[in-house]
Amino acid sequence: MKQEMSEIIRKELGETFRQAREKAGLTQVKVAEMVEMDVNYYARIERGLGNPSYEKVHGIMKALKIESLDIK
């Protein structure tokens, strides 16, 4: 149960980042550069496969101008 919930949360977080990135007209490469992370890892986060630290989530949120997350 706990693992399933973690997977759901990661997928929702990734989808939120993807939508915000596309709305901002940015590429995955640009966001990864802004956050100083490997583009492949950033892409994994968007697909719900990565497990970013709080610091990375915060950096991505700043780069994408996301003020708060509405993850269910």
Between 32 and 71, whose confidence is greater?
Answer: 32
pLDDT at 5: 85
Q: What is the DSSP string of 1-68?
A: -HHHHHHHHHHHHHHHHHHHHHHHT--HHHHHHHHTS-HHHHHHHHTT-----HHHHHHHHHHTT---
Topology of the domain comprising 2-63? 434 Repressor (Amino-terminal Domain) (1.10.260)
Domain boundaries, the chain: 2-63
Total-model pTM: 0.90
Between 24 and 68, whose confidence is greater?
Answer: 24
Average of per-residue pLDDT across 32-37: 97
